Amino acid sequence: MMYTLIGMSLLFITIGFIVTERNAKYLLAGYNTMSIEERKKVDIKTYLAYFKKFHVFLGLSFFLIGMVLIYSGYENEISIFIVAYPILAYIYFIFRSTKYFDSKKNKITTYIVAAALLFIIVMFMRDFKETKLILHANAIEFKGGYGEIIPLKAIKTIELIHDQPKITRRTNGFSAGNIKKGFYKTDKGEVVKLIINADTKPYILITKLNGKKVYYSSKEEPNEKLFEMIKVAQKN
């Protein structure tokens, strides 16, 4: 995560220095679509000074705040910060840019970015919410993000383990700090399902009759308690 912070911070700062008065007519959004007469009305020198100042501040603040979150133990929240902070910053930046030159495209972009941010926040809130294990008479239900219902008769084995599988890549899912939900490929080439609400050991491993595996860890309930409840239900 630290490398991501460093890389993105450097990117933001670099952007601030890339656009100049010489290449603005090619690189600067909004300005590059203006006619020559429209560009003459824009104080591009003042605007570029603001452009540079904004991106340098964004890069430095992004890195510093991110490091504070990491060293304060907010491993899950850092993923939200990495996505939301730049988007919020750019909404502010685009809104303030209208004082230098009024562009309808800038306003439209602001609305689009704001809508995208709202969508991302909603998705993050859904995935951060705990996916609970609910035991029914004849099935286990994982209720929440990436949930499913597994009939008890479809379970081959259920066990407690102390290690998650070694993951090589995420194929379809959500990851943020200790939270992992969705489908992941292991170093053995298997595609397994992780519903890890928190890094609470031991984990519950459910292997279905079809060979598919589900790894689960609760945030609120002890995994050992859930495991025993399932074992009792299987016997009955």
Structural contact between residues 10 and 59, judged by C-beta atoms closer than 8 angstroms: yes
Q: Which residue would you say has higher pLDDT here, 118 or 189?
A: 189
Q: 193-202: list long-range contacts, CB under 8 Å, 24+ apart.
A: 193/146, 194/164, 194/167, 195/131, 195/142, 195/146, 195/147, 196/164, 197/130, 197/131, 201/162, 202/160, 202/161, 202/162
For residues 36-41, average pLDDT: 81
Distance CA 100, CA 106 (A): 11
Please list, in sequence order, all residues whose beta carbon lies within 8 angstroms of the beta carbon of residue 203, skipping any fewer than 6 positions away. 160, 161, 162, 163, 164, 196, 215, 216, 217, 223
- pTM of model > 0.85: no
Instruction: Decide if pLDDT at 234 tops 90.
Output: no
For residues 108-130, average pLDDT: 72
For residues 188-216, average pLDDT: 95
Structural contact between residues 204 and 160, judged by C-beta atoms closer than 8 angstroms: yes
Q: Which of 211, 159, 157, 160 is nearest to 188 (CA)?
A: 211
Distance CA 62, CA 53 (A): 14
Distance CA 47, CA 27 (A): 14
Identify the pLDDT of residue 104: 61
Query: Dmax of the chain from CA atoms?
Result: 82
Identify the pLDDT of residue 50: 92
Instruction: Decide if pLDDT at 58 tops 80.
Output: yes
Distance CA 231, CA 227 (A): 6
Structure tokens at 141: 């239900």
Collapsing DSSP to helix, strand or coil, 67 comes out as helix
Residue 131: exposure state from Cβ atoms within 10 A (0-12, 13-18, ≥19): buried
Distance CA 169, CA 191 (A): 10
Q: What is the mean pLDDT of the chain?
A: 87
Q: Which residue would you say has higher pLDDT here, 83 or 169?
A: 169
- In the 8-state DSSP scheme, what is residue 166? P
